[in-house]
Amino acid sequence: MRILAIETSCDETSVAVLTPKDLTVVTASQIDVHRITGGVVPEVAAREHVQVMIPLLKEALARAAVTPQQLDRIAVTTGPGLMTSLMVGVETARTLAYGWQKPLFPINHIEGHIAANWLPPLDTSPVYEPTAFATMRAFSGPAPAMQFPAVALVVSGGHTELLCVSQPGHYELIGATRDDAAGECFDKCARILDLPYPGGPSISAQAEQARKAWQTRRAEQGQPTKQVQPVKFPSPMLTSHNFDFSFSGLKTAVLYFRRDHPTAPLAEICAALEDAIIHVLVDKTKRAIKQYQAKSLLVGGGVAANLRLREQLRDLDVPVYIPPLELCTDNAAMIAAAAQFHDQPADLFAFQADPNWELTPR
């Protein structure tokens, strides 16, 4: 099967072409543009998508050496996401499907992040490059050893969700953030702390510096490893008896802490913040695995690129699948991967972008 996939839900414009032999992904990141405002301005994001969409489509098809006539289906991220960003992808896909007479498959962005686990690593990393290209050596489905039901943790700039996956394509939402997403918390705190966008990588880099400094201090002073970390933030909703999250209070805690302790070392604030976010993510994921008797854990979304989170999720009782770093952040490869498991094309004239599309069992 040959699939053309388009992803424009937030600030990455990405096009992928999947064939039985390989998968070509072409991604244009807008990070440099949004760094100026410290976050994504929807109107600006949509304009950027429009500017690069046609060149990326041409590039992806040329690199894949696939003609429009050879395509079997077109897939597009239809939600959730920023409405104006989604519309660029959706209207492009609708027009192509009509013109080329191809069936069109609307794909949920969250499903895409989970489906990134069906993919092998890319040859080159397109993470945070202004424009990047990558081709996969081969394309497979879920690893044969991947067992279901699985629990999926999707953590990104827009989402923090726990899902039960009975099999690829079949999902049940079991918990979600009630306000900000984990990545959003990283991004907003970075703004408070005058660190560059996106906040996740910049806060993580600072946190790493703090941990290295503690290690050096411990080695020099011969103190036991349990030496306390001076700054601490509570992990929100850690003790709630459900699988929901909340991160907006943590952002406020960081804001007040910064105001009340202007000389507190930035790196230590970042380490405490990262710990508070990761602690609740890991704890609730472990509980979900237990309650749903999951046989594996699937992780996805931009925050899954966080090395500390990856490290802490390794230590579970079930096999853990985390996509390679370059497939954690938004890309069209994951949309193509998800589209394989769909068999109902959309009505070309009826389907619409849905910024709040919730993944439900089908």
Smallest distance from the beta carbon of 243 to ligand KG4, in angstroms?
20
| Binder among 302, 321, 333, 353 for ligand KG4 (CB under 6 A) | 302
At residue 91, φ and ψ (nearest 5 deg) are -70, -35
Tokens describing residue 89: 């992808």
Out of 8, 13, 85, 156, the residue judged to bind Zn ion by CB under 5 A: 156
Strands 320-321 and 3-7: unpaired
The closest of 355, 303, 351, 326 to 126, measured between CA atoms, is 326
Quick one: which of 346, 256, 301 has its CA closest to 155? 301
Residue 80 near which of Zn ion, ligand KG4, none (CB within 5-8 Å, type-dependent): none
Under the binding rule (CB under 5 A), the answer on residue 108 touching Zn ion is: no
Q: Where are the alpha helices (DSSP H) in the chain?
A: 31-37, 42-64, 83-100, 109-115, 182-192, 199-221, 248-260, 266-291, 307-313, 325-328, 333-339
String of contacts with ligand KG4 for each residue 203-242, x by CB under 6 A: -x--------------------------------------
For residue 79, the partner it binds in Zn ion, ligand KG4, none, with Cβ less than 5 to 8 A by kind, is: none
Q: How far apart are CA 304 and CA 149, in angstroms?
A: 20
Q: Which position among 158, 175, 236, 323 is part of the footprint of ligand KG4 (CB under 6 A)?
A: 158
303, interface contact from ligand KG4, Zn ion, none, CB < 5-8 Å by kind: ligand KG4
- Closest distance of CB 274 from ligand KG4, Å: 8
CB-wise, 100 or 128, nearer to Zn ion? 128
Return the one option of Zn ion, ligand KG4, none that residue 89 interacts with (CB less than 5 to 8 A, by type).
Answer: none
Specify the DSSP class assigned to residue 361: -
Among 186, 296, 330, 337, binds Zn ion (CB under 5 A): 330
- Cα 257 to Cα 232: distance, rounded to the nearest angstrom: 10
Tell me, residue by residue from 180 to 209, as one string, x for binding to ligand KG4 by CB under 6 A and - for no binding.
Answer: ---x--xx----------xxxx--x-----
241: Cα separation from own chain's centroid: 26
Rounded to a whole number of angstroms, the minimum distance from the CB of residue 260 to ligand KG4 is 25
Both tokens assigned to 265:
């070392």
Q: Count the Cβ atoms, other than its own, within 10 Å of residue 6.
A: 27
Residues in binding contact with ligand KG4, number by CB under 6 A: 19
Query: What are 257's two structure tokens?
Result: 């802490």
**95-134 burial by CB neighbour count: b if 16+ within 10 A, else e?**
ebbeeeebbbbbbbbbbbbbbbbbbeebeeebbbbeebbb
CA–CA–CA angle 324, 327, 328 (5° rounding): 90
Q: Is 296 in the site for Zn ion (CB under 5 A)?
A: no
Q: Which stretch binds Zn ion (CB under 5 A): 15-23, 29-37, 38-46, 322-330?
A: 322-330
330 lies in the binding site for ligand KG4 (CB under 6 A)? yes
Span from 195-203, 243-251, 278-286, 325-333 in contact with Zn ion (CB under 5 A): 325-333
**Closer Cβ to Zn ion, 61 or 304, answer by number:** 304
Cβ-based nearer residue to ligand KG4, 61 or 86? 86
Comparing CB distances to Zn ion, the nearer of 206 and 329 is: 329
Binders in 9-28 for ligand KG4, by CB under 6 A: 10
Name the amino acid, one letter, at 131. T
CA torsion 74→5→134→296, rounded to 10°?
-120
Footprint of Zn ion (CB under 5 A) = 156, 330
Footprint of ligand KG4 (CB under 6 A) = 10, 156-158, 183, 186-187, 198-201, 204, 301-303, 305-306, 329-330
